[in-house]
Amino acid sequence: MTTQNLIPKDKTLFGAFEPKDVLIWLDGPRTFTLLDQDGMLCLAHWLQEVGELWQYVVVPVNESILRELNNGDLSLRDALNQPRVYLVNVNADFAVEIVYLTSWEDLPQAALPTPGTMIRRDLELYFRITSDEKAAATGLTVNEQQILDYMKDGQGHTLNDITTIVVNATLRSSIGRVLASLREKGLIESGKLT
């Protein structure tokens, strides 16, 4: 996936691109904090492979954002959605090849974490259907019915799970409101995964 509107920056902007605290490790650091050349705190998240390079989205953050992220009060996607957004391409030796300034809107959205994805699975909310009988007797919107049909297995599903089954872009953007409506009607319950 390509990104539009890239402005090349000095490749030393993030120093040696050395992780300070690794938050997610999977065959290498996928999400971590680091300091930029001015000593400011940043959050880096692996975005995609570009040829032989790994591409990270990097944003300036503060301790408050990191605290909310680690407490489950802020999703990974929301933490990355900052006014200044950089793309950093690193090679197999984790040396910076190029740095670009871009914008959130110009990032390849499909490569970003899905809405509601938390930094750790235990922080994600689950949603579970409470009553099939009550749902049958309640007037539901098409969107509410689609989500309830998916949840009829009685298992707990994360927002990430639910989002992946939704193909309608309009529903995808309003999924939080639909889930809140279902909760208000007493048709689903939610809680933190354990």
pLDDT of 172-191, one tens digit each?
667 777 777 887 888 888 77
Give which of 181, 170, 160 is closest to 116, Cα–Cα: 160
Contact 171, 143 (CB under 8 A): yes
Higher pLDDT, 46 or 130: 46
State the pLDDT at residue 155. 78
Helices H, strands E: what count in the chain? 6, 10
Residue with tokens 């409101």: 177
- One-letter amino acid at 102 equals T
With a CB cutoff of 8 Å and minimum separation 6, the contacts of 127 are 151, 156, 157, 158, 159, 162, 179, 182, 188, 189, 190
Judge whether residue 145 has pLDDT over 60. Answer: yes
Question: 169 falls in which pLDDT band (50, 70, 90)?
Answer: low
Contact 170, 142 (CB under 8 A): no
Q: How far apart are CA 138 and CA 163, in angstroms?
A: 23
CA 187 to centroid of chain Cα atoms: 26
State the pLDDT at residue 188. 82
Paired tokens of 156: 């707990």
Helix (H, G, I), strand (E, B) or coil at 103: coil
Strands 188-192 and 96-102: unpaired
- One-letter amino acid at 130 equals T
* DSSP element (H, E) containing 137: helix 132-137
What DSSP letter does each residue of 32-99 carry, written as one string?
Answer: EEEE-TTS-EEEEEEEEEETTEEEEEEEE--HHHHHHHHHTSS-HHHHH--SSEEEEEE-TT--EEEE
Please report the domains of the chain, with CATH numbers, ordered by start residue: 7-113 (no CATH), 124-192 (1.10.10)
Average the pLDDT over 65-74 and give the result: 90
Average the pLDDT over 19-33 and give the result: 94
What does residue 181 show for φ and ψ, rounded to 5 degrees?
Answer: -65, -45
